[in-house]
Structure 1
């Protein structure tokens, strides 16, 4: 017999919309999106869980996790829900939440191991590309570009995390599959992106990619890679300074004090007079508290847990850092404004007054 919570969940699953959840978390390779569903279609119960990088949303083969299962009975679906997906039925009755710990965290992978696994998966997918049948040339080109964008994104994420060997290996695979005119056109297109501009300043990039065509097509005439476009530095600096002041206000209100926090704040405020934003960004990656998916120092983590502030503080730190990184290499998106909204929401949820946005000095 079903418990009251299980019966309530069954009633919701039987509704047309079923049960659906989505969230995201910071993984070894960057921001990871998660989607979960539990619904009843054609007298069967269907469950699914996906985890993927935003740039891989349309490339299921590159998902970190892609689980699907269907059952004749609700009881069998419940068992799969609890045993395989580690989701308690009652947790899905709340309006939000209920998803299990991230797949990456569950497997306890180091950032290097996670990057290596994704690199191996992309390498295999790139090899398989040449054996596939496509409906037309447009579909073939789209697949080619998607895979190469994924390689470039992985290289960029690896470089931001200090994984120069993984970044170089991803670029090497990209170079191995760049040879014809269409490949070079795709390369030019994907390099015109934040990841491309970051990697253009990475010494192995020019050697590997600029000579890619010559390695496969001797004597082929191709133009060198263009240098990265300058970022809109004034707006970036102003937003980062404001985000840093929000983090400082939160820490002061919660009596949070730790050397790692002081080092991060010092780094964030240093953007005001940084002569090279890429160099400033690289320095931040090496901090003990860096807002890029790495765990905080153990002593700070214990204190945060004791004060029930761990989730709020780490989410705040991630958002504050992302404000400066999102458009650092030339993009102009709504992401920084979105992160600032989340920062302000965290402060207000803890009754912390929002600071006045500082002005960048000339």
Structure 2
């Protein structure tokens, strides 16, 4: 199904939202739930509405989370809630999910956003997690804001979150 729309047709925001959707589906597949993961996921979803005025505050918000997606050690209570045989995969997935947009935060490395999303999708495939249909994440004017696309409305964020 994803053949009709390629990763290159998607904005950075759409790529990030696809990646976090994959993370949510992965957690559901393995019945993994923890408030720290929920906080991370909720914060990542806010990327769709980050703009020039709010972006730095959104970025800084990761430092207040128990799981940052930046390769930091996870708190012991979170680790204890994750099956040991899947922890490394999940921790890597979280990092790649964040890097799907982080690689462009203070630069413009669009090719790396593609590679990061491809890694996320590969992890999903290896673990039997259904990949999102890219057509549901397309945006008119995806190249606005250096490839980030237009800021999403509340309705768009809610619709995309509903796809997870």
TM-score by length of 1: 0.33
**Match 1:329 to one of 106, 110, 115:** 106
Partner residue, 1:308: 85
**Relative contact order (C-alpha < 8 Å, sep 6+): which is higher?**
2
Post-superposition Cα deviations, 1:291-335, rounded to whole Å, max 9, x if no partner, equal: 11211121221232x341011000100000111210112323411
1:339-354 equivalences in 2 (<5 Å) = 339-354=116-131
Could you tell me how far 1:269 is from its partner in structure 2? 0.6
**Match 2:24 to one of 217, 241, 248:** 248
Mapped partners of 2:30, 2:132: distance in 1: 15
Mapped partners of 2:59, 2:106: distance in 1: 10
Cα 1:267–1:359 shift into 2, 3 Å: farther
Unaligned runs of 5+ in 2: 1-9, 140-151, 154-164
Unaligned runs of 5+ in 1: 1-233
Mapped partners of 1:241, 1:300: distance in 2: 23
Post-superposition Cα deviations, 1:134-154, rounded to whole Å, max 9, x if no partner, equal: xxxxxxxxxxxxxxxxxxxxx
Mapped partners of 1:338, 1:248: distance in 2: 20
- The question of 1:283 aligning with 2:66 is answered no
Mapped partners of 2:20, 2:47: distance in 1: 10
**Match 2:13 to one of 231, 234, 237:** 237
Mapped partners of 2:138, 2:17: distance in 1: 8
Partner residue, 1:299: 77
Query: Does the 8 A contact of 2:22 with 2:129 survive in 1?
Result: no
Mapped partners of 2:105, 2:43: distance in 1: 15
Query: Does the 8 A contact of 1:284 with 1:290 survive in 2?
Result: yes
TM-score by length of 2: 0.71
SS of equivalent to 1:327: coil
Query: Does the 8 A contact of 1:253 with 1:352 survive in 2?
Result: yes
Query: Does the 8 A contact of 1:236 with 1:328 survive in 2?
Result: no
Cα RMSD, aligned residues only? 1.8
Query: Structure 1 stretches (4+) deviating beyond 6 angstroms?
Result: none
Post-superposition Cα deviations, 1:138-172, rounded to whole Å, max 9, x if no partner, equal: xxxxxxxxxxxxxxxxxxxxxxxxxxxxxxxxxxx
Mapped partners of 1:236, 1:333: distance in 2: 8
SS of equivalent to 1:257: coil
SS of equivalent to 2:24: helix
SS of equivalent to 1:331: coil
Mapped partners of 1:324, 1:310: distance in 2: 23
